[in-house]
DNA sequence: CCCTAAAATGAACTTTGTGTTGATTAATGA
DNA sequence: TCATTAATCAACACAAAGTTCATTTTAGGG
């Protein structure tokens, strides 16, 4: 009773260790705590690995925690469910993209397109994709989340395409409606990102960015170098 | 015992009413039986409606059958699980696409592109998308299945793009690698389909097909009619 | 080094959906 | 009319979800 220095903290044990399936982001965790950092990292990595293999749909919380080597209860200490986890990862990545987007200047583009050099902003984006290749590769791939592709497109729309709104004529003078042209270009660029990741990044960000410059200036037929 | 004409079929009751979670497509049903036709139809419609609302991931077999007004057991009479159901619907739609693809002739394209008229093959495709708008709209949208987008791209690759392989120069003479150009174009076209469905089909198949013709011939900058 | 706050663990429990089974009822079509 | 077969119903074992609480482990400031 005295040798073991007793349990004098019995009446002061931990409160509210739990998140609750509803209160999704009401958590104010100490993000500096190395235990939390580690846990988060393990869970994120485990989720991406499992998604790569089976797709988000087929994964259970049990799978995630056992791959992460953590207790299932620990998961619920931080996230309401697997959707919550995915959202948090996604939001972080989008933050990263938005930060890069701040450096974007449309006038820069005009300068570079006339001299067959890649647009530096595009290079920076691809460097980011490369840095987080696993995430983007999974999320934009066949096992990924189609809602993320939409998010990504919205990002391009707002941060890139909308900057050029002022430069085009009124709709009746255009060969193709403005909004359809935007849909075309955004999806085309997304397609390049997907293909590049799929191929294991066989070109440098610089090379890819140069392709963008060229494909924007040439018609598809010219880009193909088709024999007539 | 005699008034009710008895149960003389007791020893001949139905065998193997069930599919089994593994034997996915081992079923040889009489697809003409109106009961089956009706059941299939109800299940398909229910699935699409629910996907539109909550996405495939959030749906349970219970949801599907209760929306379809059927017994849950009936579902398992025809499908192993919800994935199986989705696959069957998808396969049917792809069949429809392949059938249209048979009518494709690349030489046709050369004829039409020089006179600013839509490519009839493209018109036919969009008529099909329109006819099955709910399916394509859901599956290619944010609540859909990213694997289907990939399937769809492969379809375009095989049935459209590969036909032009012979017409291009060797890679070192091209402004952009051939495979990247294909990824760009395929994704761009997919994007138009998605956008068109999203907008509630605000143009006719003919109009959309004409946009394709033009965007293939003009550079994005020309398509935009950008002020210099 | 010790001690406290907080994170992680482990075990139990309820609930919900799954996939299966066998018996019964209802519809089809020859 | 009647044999066949689809659909229904009720019951089952099972797996994972989400929650709770007591206990153990860890981090880091005094």
Q: What is the DSSP string of B96-121?
A: HHHHHHTT--HHHHHHHHTTT---HH
What average pLDDT does the segment A75-98 reach?
98
User: Which residue among A79, A96, A116 closes a domain?
Assistant: A79
pLDDT over 80 at A46, yes or no: yes
Please give the residue range of the domain that contains residue A193.
Answer: 85-223
Residues A30-34, mean pLDDT to the nearest whole number: 84
Chain A contact for B10, CB < 8 A?
A: no
As a whole number, mean pLDDT of residues A39-60 equals 97
B19 or A95: which carries more pLDDT confidence?
Answer: A95
Q: A164-191 pLDDT, tens per residue?
A: 887 777 777 789 999 999 999 999 999 9
B185 and B89: one domain? yes
Residues A90 and A172 in one domain: yes
Chain B segment 117-176 residues within 8 A of A by beta carbon are 141-147, 149-150, 164, 167-169, 173-176
Residue A143 domain-assigned (yes or no)? yes
- Tell which residue, A70, A41, A64, has the closest CA to residue A52: A64
- pLDDT at A88 (0 to 100): 97
Check the CA dihedral A218-A224-A225-A227 and report its sign: negative
Please say whether the beta carbons of A168 and B224 come within 8 A: yes
Do B190 and B156 contact (CB within 8 A), yes or no?
A: yes
- Please state, as a whole number, how many other Cβ atoms lie within 10 Å of the Cβ of residue B24: 15
Mean pLDDT of A203-218: 95
Instruction: Confirm whether A228 is domain-assigned.
Output: no
Same domain? B34 vs B132? no
Do B126 and B44 share a structural domain? Answer: no
Same structural domain, B112 and B128: yes
A9 and A67 belong to one structural domain: yes
With CA atoms as reference, the chain B residue closest to A198 would be B183
Does some domain include residue A37?
A: yes
Nucleotide lying nearest to A60, CA to C1' measure: D16
**Does residue A203 fall inside a structural domain?**
yes
Residue from B126, B97, B125, B109 nearest B201 by CA: B126
- Which candidate from B141, B176, B221 shows the least CB-CB separation from A146? B141
Report the share of chain A in percent with pLDDT over 90.
69
pLDDT over threshold 80, residue A114: no
Q: Chain A: residue nearest B191 by CA? A: A187
Q: What is the CATH number of the domain that holds B201?
A: 1.10.357.10
Tokens of B86: 């989705």
* Residue B202, domain member (yes or no): yes
Mean pLDDT of A108-125: 85
Same domain, B32 and B104: no
Structural domain count, chain A: 2
Number of H helices, E strands in chain A: 11, 0
Q: What is the pLDDT confidence band of residue A19, given thresholds at 50, 70 and 90?
A: low
**How high is the pLDDT of residue A18?**
63
Residue A58 and residue A148 in one domain: no
Which of A19-28, A80-89, B27-36, B175-184 comes out lowest in average pLDDT? A19-28
Q: Mean pLDDT across the stretch A149-173? A: 88
Looking at the domain assignment, is residue B228 inside a domain? no
pTM over 0.85: yes
Select from A65, A90, A91, A77 the least CA-distant residue to A23. A77
Residue recorded with tokens 């090379």: A207
pLDDT of residue B48: 98
In a domain? residue A17: yes
Predicted local confidence at residue B225, as pLDDT: 78
Phi/psi at A157 (nearest 5 deg)?
A: -55, -55
**pLDDT classification of A163: cutoffs 50, 70, 90:** confident
Task: Determine contact: B207 vs chain A, CB below 8 A.
Answer: no
Residue A4 scores a pLDDT above 80: no
- Closest by Cα among B22, B194, B113 to A184: B194
Classified as helix, coil or strand, B174 is: coil
Same domain, A55 and A162: no
- Residue A24 DSSP label: T
Nearest to B51 by CA among B152, B148, B141: B141
Confidence (pLDDT) at A226: 63
B154 in a structural domain = yes
The pLDDT score that the predictor gives to residue A20 is: 52
**Averaged pLDDT for residues A152-170:** 88
pLDDT of residue B1: 31
Residues in chain A: 228
Please tell me whether residues B219 and B126 are part of one structural domain.
Answer: yes
Q: d(Cα B192, Cα B198) in Å, to the nearest integer?
A: 10
Compare B124 and A16 and report the one with higher pLDDT: B124
CA distance A88 to A91: 5
Q: Which phi and psi (to 5°) does residue A226 adopt?
A: -65, 140
Q: What is the pLDDT of residue A112?
A: 75
Query: Looking at B50, B79, B108, which one is the last position of a domain?
Result: B79
**Is the Cβ pair B168, A226 closer than 8 Å?**
yes
In this prediction, residue A6 has a pLDDT band, given cuts at 50, 70 and 90, of: very low
Asked if A228 is an interface residue toward chain B (Cβ–Cβ < 8 A), one would say no
| Local structure of residue A10 (DSSP, 8 states) | G
Taking 70 as the pLDDT cut, the residues of chain B under it are 1-29, 113, 226-228
Do B95 and B54 lie in one domain? The reply is no
- Claim to verify: residue B172 and residue B147 sit in the same structural domain: yes
CB neighbours of residue A179 within 10 Å: 14
Residue B199, phi then psi, degrees to nearest 5: -80, 5
| Residue pLDDT, tens place only, A129-144 | 999 999 999 999 999 9
3-class DSSP state for residue A200? Answer: coil
Residue A223: helix, strand or coil by DSSP?
A: helix
Helix (H, G, I), strand (E, B) or coil at B72: helix
Q: How far apart are CA A31 and CA A38, in angstroms?
A: 10
CB contact under 8 A, A187 and B185: no
Question: Are A191 and B187 in contact, with CB atoms under 8 Å apart?
Answer: yes
Confidence of residue A26 (pLDDT cuts 50, 70, 90): very low
Which of A63, A79, A95 is where one domain is finished?
Answer: A79
């Amino acid at each position: 009773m005295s040798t073991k220095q007793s349990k004098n903290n019995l009446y002061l044990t931990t409160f509210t260790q739990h998140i609750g399936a509803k209160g999704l982001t009401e958590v104010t965790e100490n993000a500096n705590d190395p235990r939390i950092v580690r846990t988060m990292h393990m869970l994120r990595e485990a989720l991406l690995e499992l998604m790569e293999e089976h797709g988000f749909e087929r994964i259970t919380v049990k799978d995630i925690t056992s791959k992460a080597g953590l207790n299932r209860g620990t998961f619920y200490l931080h996230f309401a469910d697997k959707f919550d986890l995915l959202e948090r990862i996604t939001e972080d990545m989008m933050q990263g993209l938005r930060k890069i987007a701040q450096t974007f200047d449309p006038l820069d583009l005009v300068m570079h397109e006339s001299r067959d050099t890649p647009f530096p902003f595009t290079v920076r984006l691809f460097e980011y994709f490369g840095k987080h290749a696993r995430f983007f590769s999974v999320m934009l791939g066949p096992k990924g989340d189609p809602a993320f592709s939409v998010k990504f497109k919205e990002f391009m729309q707002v941060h890139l395409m909308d900057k050029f709104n002022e430069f085009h004529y009124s709709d009746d003078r255009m060969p193709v409606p403005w909004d359809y042209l935007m849909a075309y270009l955004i999806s085309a660029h997304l397609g390049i990102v997907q293909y590049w990741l799929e191929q294991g990044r066989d070109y440098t960000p610089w090379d890819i960015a140069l392709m963008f410059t060229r494909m924007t200036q040439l018609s598809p037929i010219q880009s193909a170098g088709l024999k007539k």
